[in-house]
Amino acid sequence: MCHVSFDTHSFHISHHAAALLQPLKNYRQIMSSQKLKTVVTNVPPVTRALTAAIIITSGIGLLITYTRDPEATTHNNVPVIGLVPGYWLHFPWTFLTACLYENNIFAFITSLVATLLGGKYLERAWGSKELLKFVIVTGVIPNILTWLTFIVPFYITGDDDFLFNYQINGMTGVLASFLVAFRHLIPEHLVQVFGGTVSIRVKNLLGILTAATIVSLILFQTLVVYNLVNLGWVVAWAYLRFFKWQDGVQGDRSETFALYTFFPDFLHTPIKAVSNIVFGILVALKCCKPFPPSWGYDLEGQASTSRSTPGPLPGSARAEAERRRALALKALDIRLSSKHTPSPTGSPAPTYTSQSPQTSASQQNNPVLFDAGETMEATSNVDGDTVAIGIPHDDDKDSN
């Protein structure tokens, strides 16, 4: 009897404890749902749509892969969604859908995280329309160029493997283009990993990714990933350099964004020579607009000694330097005004309003970029005079 009474008493105690803990569990569920709702609603519309498209497209591809007859095919290609070179006439829409389809769990998670973080930042900096245009350009064109890298060898060798044994899919080309956009907007910001023990400048991320694709190509023969990444960043650079409109100016012709700056120093001379030849061909074909004759520039944005324009040309190295200096002065003014009490007269501190939308993203204290600490450095070099102002944010005083 004592034993039974003890069990009953224990049951009543545990039941009473569970009843007491139930409101806490309900509170946690409510808070979790509210937090999830906040996270979802804070994501801009195009970024949210891209994330949903990746999930839906990859889910459909997974469903097709595991429901079809395993004896009907010897590979895991899904030509109705992924771009299989030999089936492009049957499924031409795959030039677009292929960049949204991930058939690998690691690539799927990486694409979701990178799209949420990168897309959110770029959409706030550029706007929804410009981000959508950028994603379409850097998603479809690299797919077409990668498709050509399989079609041309097929016609040369006659090997059917180039048509049916490869599938072009994944967001790697678009993600590489995001790194080019970050390099254009916030090249000196820092991304901290491993708890802040390692800090990488944004402008160096693309080089790390490119090196990783080379190693992967050698070790694992990942030809599709290699082509998508390297063609993706080149297409993104060309679009930002020559075609994207910003403040009434088409492209960014500044020397700081020249093609050779993406390569090691020992390759600068040959890259300049080749890029100038290519630029001349594109101008002759009317694919690109030539530089104004009054301002002698080559493809790399270098000014000649003869100028007939008194002021800096928009997008030139001088205009870029002045823009960076104005940005630094404004950031310094904001920081000083936040630390000092306003004067009795109540007169506001002077502000500097000469800026472009693309630089406004870099002056916001916004930890969106990979949740990393950021250090904003603005350096201008005008006619040999250098002004360097480093402005660390409060939450990363130890980032240096």
Question: Among 302, 305, 309, 239, which Cα is nearest to 271's?
Answer: 302
In the structure, what pLDDT confidence band is assigned to residue 298 with cuts at 50, 70 and 90? very low
Can you give the pLDDT at residue 374?
41
Mean pLDDT of the chain, nearest integer: 77
pLDDT at 198 over 90: no
Length of the chain: 400
Residue 19: count of CB within 10 angstroms of its CB: 9
H or E stretch covering 117: helix 105-126
Give the global pTM. 0.68
CATH annotation of 33-252: 1.20.1540.10
Q: Give the torsion through C-alpha atoms of 24, 26, 28, 33, to 10 deg.
A: -170
Select the more confidently predicted residue: 11 or 140.
140
Residue 46: count of CB within 10 angstroms of its CB: 22
Q: Which residues pair with 307 in a beta bridge?
A: 295
Extents of the domains making up the chain: 33-252, 256-307, 317-340+347-396
pLDDT at 259 over 70: yes
Interatomic CA distance for residues 376 and 344, integer angstroms? 32
| Average pLDDT for 90-103 | 97
**Start-to-end C-alpha separation, the chain:** 71
Interatomic CA distance for residues 14 and 264, integer angstroms? 67
Give 65: exposed, middle or buried? Use CB within 10 Å, 0-12, 13-18, 19+.
middle
What single letter denotes the amino acid at residue 358? Q
Q: Which residues pair with 303 in a beta bridge?
A: 297
240-257 per-position pLDDT tens digit = 999 998 878 888 888 899
